[in-house]
Chains A and B, each alone.
Chain A
Amino acid sequence: MSEAHPGYQPPPVAIHPPGHGHTPHHPYLQHHFDNMEQQAEASTLGMWTFLVTEIMFFGGLFMAYLVYRWQSPLGFQEASHHLNIYWGAANTAILIISSLTMALAVRAAQTSQPVRTQIGWLVSTMVLGAAFLGIKAIEYSDKFRDHIVPGPYFQWEGLYPKPAEQFYSLYFAMTGLHALHMVIGLGIMAVITWMASRKTFDSEYYTPVEVAGLYWHFVDIVWIFLFPLLYLIGRHYHAA
Chain B
Amino acid sequence: MSGHVAPKSMYYAVFAALILGTALTVAAAFIDMGALNNVVMLAIAVTKAALVVLFFMHVRWGTRLTWVVAASGFFWLLILFGLTMQDYLTRGWVDGTWR
Q: Which residues of the partner chain A approach B44 to less than 8 Å between Cβ atoms?
A: 228
| Residues in B neighbouring A111, C-beta threshold 8 A | 5
Contacts of B73 in A (CB 8 A): 51-52, 55-56
Say yes or no for A130: interface residue by CB 8 A criterion.
no
Task: Confirm or deny: A103 has a beta carbon within 8 angstroms of a beta carbon on chain B.
Answer: yes
Pairwise interchain contact A36-B80, C-beta atoms closer than 8 A: no
Interface size on A, residues (CB 8 A): 57
Contact of A224 among B5, B8, B45, B85 (CB under 8 A): B45
B22 closest partner in A (C-beta): A92
Give chain B's interface residue range (CB within 8 Å of chain A): 35 or more
Q: Count how many pairs of residues, one from A and one from B, have CB atoms less than 8 Å apart in the complex.
A: 142
Whether B77 and A56, one on each chain, are in contact in the complex, defined by CB atoms closer than 8 angstroms, is yes
Known: A52-B69, A100-B11, A210-B58. A89 touches B26 (CB 8 A): yes
Give Cα A43 to B25, complex, Å.
35
The residue of chain A having its C-beta at the shortest distance from the C-beta of B32 within the complex is: A236
Q: Which of B33, B56, B65, B76 has the most CB of A within 10 A?
A: B56
- Say whether A232 contacts B52, CB under 8 Å: no
CA gap between A153 and B79 in the complex, in Å: 37
Tell me whether A236 and B56 are in contact in the complex, defined as CB-CB below 8 angstroms, given that A45-B66, A56-B73, A111-B5 are known contacts: no
A66 within 8 A of B: yes
Q: With contacts A48-B70, A228-B41 known, is A110 near B29, CB below 8 A? A: no
Closest to B88 in A: A67
Cα A67 to Cα B87 with chains together (Å): 10
> A45 and B69 in contact (CB under 8 A), knowing A99-B56, A225-B49?
yes
